[in-house]
């Protein structure tokens, strides 16, 4: 794209300020900027000012496979799950493209050291768990790791330096998630540098489209993978490709499944799995009316009691059916470094929007979802914050309770 065409397009979208420093740039920098402009997708900007999707349909609690059900049927579930794993019908996707701003750690979150007496990164804990399952199945499963343009190099190097934590290198596949432009509250796209448009990872909902655009879906096709276990990086007790979970889902006939834990109280800040107009739906705690959050059933328990822990199983066939469906964009208010008046500014508080799609929104598109209850104390130790709830401190406590020597 040449300068004139770039100017024309930007003017049409009221973004001509992106060329403010063009005259100062040398030839290579100009090329970089023009190529960034050529790739820009302005359509996300339409989401600014749209009221968030807080108007829901008819909401009902969702029935779940409870801890008791699992205890009774565990052998059958595990047998089925191990059968699928053994025949390499299952792959896993680790979502590690987030920026972990709440934790305030400047490296990929998976590199965070939760060890006390010895070094123990989150990545090493997760891979240890994956290896234990692979050993039970007698075969390794393909493990895809989604990174972002911002943390890919650090992540890949860390895995290399640590010999992939013992997982076969040929079974680990990194891919970089797609990005969207970041902009000010009034919709002006930021420059990250005078020659570079500010781009941010497009949220964890972009994992399947990013995997496909990376070309790695050929591995799914070659292996005729039927199920993908998708999980977040920041739960140090995450159980990856849990055979019982896989088996229960496959036997249920559902297109997807979500691990859930019973909420500790009505106000707990987790998304809740429920039914909306007969379809599975995950409603964020801040979008759910208080009356529903606090509603109790005849057994005295919270009616909407199942919180999600970012561990899902998706049917590949159904994922391929819904690739044409668009996920809604959520506007995340963030502090976005940018160029202003010729200088780099690092704002201390949110100054604009990043556009993110969320994996929770995929669940609704899947049409059916098995809620599979797990023990919180054994499977949910998130590392989100620097201190207090869901911090390294609480995660270490839970690791110790589960017999880890850290």
Give the binding site for ligand UTP (CB under 6 A).
Answer: 95-103, 109, 146, 177, 201, 203-204, 232-234, 310, 356, 384
The residue among 92 and 310 lying less far from ligand UTP, judged by its C-beta, is 310
Q: Considering the complex, what minimum distance in angstroms separates the CB of residue 355 from ligand UTP?
A: 10
CB-nearer residue toward ligand UTP: 109 or 263: 109
Q: Rounded to an integer, what distance in angstroms lies between the CA atom of residue 167 and that of residue 127?
A: 7
Q: How far is the CB of 179 from ligand UTP (least distance, A)?
A: 9
Beta-carbon neighbour count of residue 142 at 10 Å? 21
Listed residue (331, 110, 113, 111) closest to 231, CA to CA: 110
Q: Are 281 and 275 in contact (CB under 8 A)?
A: yes
Q: Which is nearer to ligand UTP, 98 or 352 (CB)?
A: 98
Helix (H) or strand (E) holding 180: strand 179-181
Closest to ligand UTP by CB, 202 or 281: 202
The minimum distance between CB 248 and ligand UTP, in angstroms, equals 23
Q: CB 405 → ligand UTP: shortest distance, Å? A: 25
Number of residue whose CB is nearest ligand UTP:
98
- R_g of the chain, CA atoms, integer Å: 22
Nearer to ligand UTP, 36 or 234 (CB): 234
By beta-carbon proximity to ligand UTP, the closer residue of 70 and 99 is: 99
Query: Measured at the alpha carbon of residue 182, what is the angle toward residues 23 and 159, in degrees to the nearest 5?
Result: 105
Q: How far is the CB of 308 from ligand UTP (least distance, A)?
A: 11
Cα 142 to Cα 359: distance, rounded to the nearest angstrom: 20
Burial label, 25 (beta-carbon count in 10 A; 0-12, 13-18, 19+): middle
CB of 65 to ligand UTP, least distance (A): 24
| Contact (Cβ atoms closer than 8 angstroms) between residue 365 and residue 322 | yes
SS3 label, residue 202 = coil
């Amino acid at each position: 794209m040449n300068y004139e065409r770039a100017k024309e397009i930007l003017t049409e979208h009221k973004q001509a300020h992106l060329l403010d420093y063009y005259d100062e740039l040398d030839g290579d920098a100009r090329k970089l900027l023009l190529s960034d402009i050529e790739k820009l997708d302005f359509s996300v900007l339409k989401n600014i000012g749209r009221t968030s999707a807080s108007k829901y349909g008819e909401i009902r609690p969702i029935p779940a496979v409870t801890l008791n059900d699992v205890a009774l049927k565990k052998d059958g579930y595990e047998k089925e799950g191990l059968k699928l794993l053994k025949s390499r019908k299952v792959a896993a996707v680790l979502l590690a493209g987030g920026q972990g701003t709440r934790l305030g750690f400047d490296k990929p979150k998976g590199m965070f050291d939760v060890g006390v007496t010895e070094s123990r990164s989150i990545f090493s804990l997760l891979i240890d768990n994956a290896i234990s399952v692979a050993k039970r199945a007698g075969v390794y499963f393909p493990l895809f790791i989604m990174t972002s343009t911002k943390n890919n190099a650090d992540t890949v190097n860390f895995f290399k330096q640590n010999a992939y934590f013992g997982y076969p290198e040929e079974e680990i596949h990194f891919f970089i998630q797609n990005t969207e432009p970041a902009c000010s509250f009034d919709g002006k796209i930021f420059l990250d540098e005078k020659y570079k448009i500010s781009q941010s990872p497009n949220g964890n909902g972009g994992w399947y489209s990013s995997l496909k655009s990376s070309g790695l879906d050929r591995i799914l096709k070659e292996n005729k993978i039927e199920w993908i276990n998708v999980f977040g990086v920041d739960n140090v007790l995450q159980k990856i490709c849990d055979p019982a979970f896989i088996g229960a889902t496959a036997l249920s006939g559902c297109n997807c499944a979500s691990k859930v834990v019973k909420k500790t109280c009505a106000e707990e800040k987790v998304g809740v799995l429920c039914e909306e107009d007969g379809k599975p739906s995950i409603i964020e705690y801040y979008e759910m009316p208080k009356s529903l959050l606090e509603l109790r059933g005849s057994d005295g328990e919270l009616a909407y009691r199942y919180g999600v822990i970012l561990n899902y199983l998706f049917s590949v066939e159904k994922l391929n059916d819904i690739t044409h469906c668009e996920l809604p964009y959520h506007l995340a208010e963030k502090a976005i470094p940018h160029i202003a008046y010729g200088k780099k500014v690092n704002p201390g508080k949110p100054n604009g929007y990043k556009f993110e799609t969320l994996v929770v929104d995929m669940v609704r598109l899947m049409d059916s979802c098995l809620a599979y209850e797990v023990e919180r104390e054994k499977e949910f130790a998130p590392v989100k914050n620097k201190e207090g709830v869901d911090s390294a401190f609480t995660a270490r406590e839970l690791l110790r309770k589960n017999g880890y020597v850290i």
